[in-house]
């Protein structure tokens, strides 16, 4: 049997290696889908449980011109996404999402697609460290105003650990468009999301999240031509059972939104 520390490390390395292999086989499609700004950790519905969550984000300072015909530029767009998750077993759950947006310039509110995900999560206790690792499989259907490609697949690795008051998590992500768009190159894209949080009081934690978008996995972009955004994050639970995460994000590089506010609300029913 593998040592739990080595087990988690091997899962992370294997996932990155798989991404590198697939990048030579899959075509590229550039797309954007900022309806969900989150780093996956060890939060997981138990068998038979149903979880409800609301995702909000608002681009207060962002790009105002479309990247392609029919795109809705993100500047001053409020995005809202209800999520329902079913605990299928100790290690699997199923989630359904409905992305919605409101353009504050035009006043139009639109449903932007549909998302389904299947997530696997495993946990190991090693002395004072609780390690977790897994994979999230996601399939999304987007309206053209949100994505140049309509059908998108995502494979997201989940690796992290808790020690005392600290939580660390890392999500290596592979995105791939499943439908061909005429005139657009089509290859796999790679992102890397991370999170560090510290519990400072009962049910209150503060920390940072960082979202790196490297573009085409076969020929990634780094530095000022990559997408780099950091969020200051506050998480807490209310007496009535609501779980809240609030964050303020700053985009460090030219391709990303400069200021974004996000709010996640976990409902107690």
pLDDT 10s digits, 224-258:
989 999 999 999 999 999 999 999 999 999 889 99
Per-residue pLDDT of the chain (269 residues; tens, 9 = 90+): 334 444 444 444 444 434 333 333 333 333 333 578 999 999 999 999 999 999 999 999 999 999 889 999 999 999 999 999 999 999 999 999 999 999 999 999 999 999 999 999 999 998 899 999 999 999 999 999 998 889 999 999 999 999 999 999 999 999 999 987 877 667 889 999 999 999 999 999 999 999 999 988 888 888 898 999 999 999 999 999 999 999 999 999 988 999 999 999 999 97
Give yes or no for a contact between 228 and 253, defined as CB atoms under 8 angstroms apart. Answer: yes
Q: How many CB atoms lie within 10 A of CB 114?
A: 14
Range of the domain at 26: 4-267
Give the phi and the psi of residue 14 in degrees, each rounded to 5.
-65, -40
State how far the Cα of 215 lies from the Cα of 125, in Å rounded to an integer. 35
Closest CA to 43 of 245, 228, 263: 245
Which pLDDT does position 254 carry in this prediction?
Answer: 86
pTM of the model: 0.85
Q: Where are the beta strands (DSSP E) in the chain?
A: 50-61, 77-87, 92-97, 100-103, 109-111, 113-126, 129-142, 151-163, 166-177, 189-201, 204-216, 227-237, 243-251, 259-267
Tally the domains of the chain: 1
Give yes or no for a contact between 86 and 108, defined as CB atoms under 8 angstroms apart. Answer: no
The enclosing domain of 195 has a CATH number of 2.40.160.40
Closest CA to 159 of 207, 200, 124: 124
Give the phi and the psi of residue 125 in degrees, each rounded to 5.
-105, 120
């Amino acid at each position: 049997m593998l040592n739990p520390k080595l087990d988690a490390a091997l899962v992370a390395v294997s996932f990155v290696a798989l991404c590198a292999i697939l990048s030579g086989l899959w075509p590229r499609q550039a797309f954007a889908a900022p309806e969900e700004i989150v780093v996956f950790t060890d939060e997981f519905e138990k068998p038979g449980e149903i979880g409800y969550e609301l995702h909000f984000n608002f681009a207060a300072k962002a790009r105002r011109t479309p990247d392609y015909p029919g795109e809705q530029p993100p500047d001053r767009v409020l995005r809202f996404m209800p999520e329902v998750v079913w605990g299928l077993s100790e290690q699997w759950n199923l989630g359904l999402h409905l992305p919605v947006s409101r353009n504050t310039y035009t006043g139009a509110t639109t449903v932007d697609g549909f998302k389904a995900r299947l997530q696997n999560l495993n946990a190991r206790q090693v002395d004072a460290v609780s390690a977790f690792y897994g994979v999230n499989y996601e399939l999304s259907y987007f309206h053209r105003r949100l994505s140049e490609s309509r059908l998108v697949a995502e494979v997201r690795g989940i690796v992290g650990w808790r020690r005392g008051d600290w939580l660390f998590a890392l999500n290596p992500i592979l995105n791939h468009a499943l439908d061909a768009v005429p005139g657009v190159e089509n290859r796999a894209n790679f992102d890397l999301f991370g999170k560090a949080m510290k519990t400072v009081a009962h049910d209150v934690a503060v920390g940072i999240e960082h979202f790196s978008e490297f573009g085409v996995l076969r020929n990634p972009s780094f530095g000022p031509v990559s997408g780099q955004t950091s969020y200051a994050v506050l998480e807490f639970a209310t007496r009535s059972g609501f779980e809240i995460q609030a964050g303020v994000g700053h985009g460090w590089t030219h391709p990303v939104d400069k200021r974004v506010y996000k709010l996640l609300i976990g409902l107690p029913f």
